[in-house]
Structure 1
């Protein structure tokens, strides 16, 4: 009896894959383990005798189990799908920042420092001089829109 047609090897693989599900969650590895158990039982009962049939049964049963039962099992073992604030800009509006390079006049881009990082900044058309403070109004991609602080 070759290794690939030994039912004890398939049972050991099934147990190993079932234990691996603890480390790699998602259900797929568990179904691969269940497919290994199906192959082991089929080999032990004599339904499968060749390595080609054993591998074919493993691949087909894996595919069938994953496609048909993953959605069913996922309903009972749901993960946390809570979404936190995805609009970071809401946390940034009205923050006071320091102007590093003069912003404006007009649409002349300057730089600000915000949370320890240097960012590009645009004003409302007025000149905001280097060293002064500004308030964040909005953000467009990686450029902050700021107003001078009076």
Structure 2
């Protein structure tokens, strides 16, 4: 057996890809390696000949294996998947911040300290002075809309 034999080359590539699954988990590389083993078997049996037919078979086998068995390998091999809230407005709604530049009167913007940074803020039309604790109502473009806190129990900052 010579290493110039195409079926041996495809088999070696397939085994390398399948072993690479240990380093690159996710269930994809092992299926690409399995497709290489299919091509190696087809070459050994004489079903395909040449690089064009080999690459075509590898591509088709890879697609079939990926589409057919991706969910199975994902369950067996696993991996880290975590879905966070993709709407940042839900995360900031109803949080408490501190005014660091007077907001208002009217539509005059001020600044608040929130989550370790400064944000532009609009109020309800009244003047909100420096040091006042405010509740974030919503987001307006790149600024926040706030209202002054009235309830003394809501004094915990959400920075």
TM-score by length of 2: 0.74
Q: Figure out how many residues of one structure are paired with residues of the other and give that number.
A: 145
Q: Assess if the C-alpha contact under 8 Å between 1:134 and 1:146 holds in 2.
A: no
Instruction: Give the root-mean-square deviation of aligned CA atoms.
Output: 2.7
- 2:60 paired residue number: 60
Matches within 5 A, 1:51-90: 51-74=51-74, 83-84=83-84, 87-90=90-93
- 1:95 paired residue number: 96
Deviation for aligned residue 1:10: 0.9
- 1:14 paired residue number: 14
Are residues 96 and 140 of structure 1, via their aligned partners in 2, closer, same or farther at CA, if it must alter by over 3 Å?
Answer: closer
Deviates more, 1:13-22 or 1:76-85: 76-85
Q: Assess if the C-alpha contact under 8 Å between 1:96 and 1:135 holds in 2.
A: yes
Deviation for aligned residue 1:94: 4.4
TM-score by length of 1: 0.78
Matches within 5 A, 1:1-150: 3=4, 6-74=6-74, 83-84=83-84, 87-90=90-93, 93-97=94-98, 99-129=99-129, 131-141=130-140, 142-149=142-149
Deviates more, 1:102-111 or 1:138-147: 138-147
Q: Which runs of 5+ in 2 are unaligned?
A: 151-159
Q: Which runs of 5+ in 1 are unaligned?
A: none
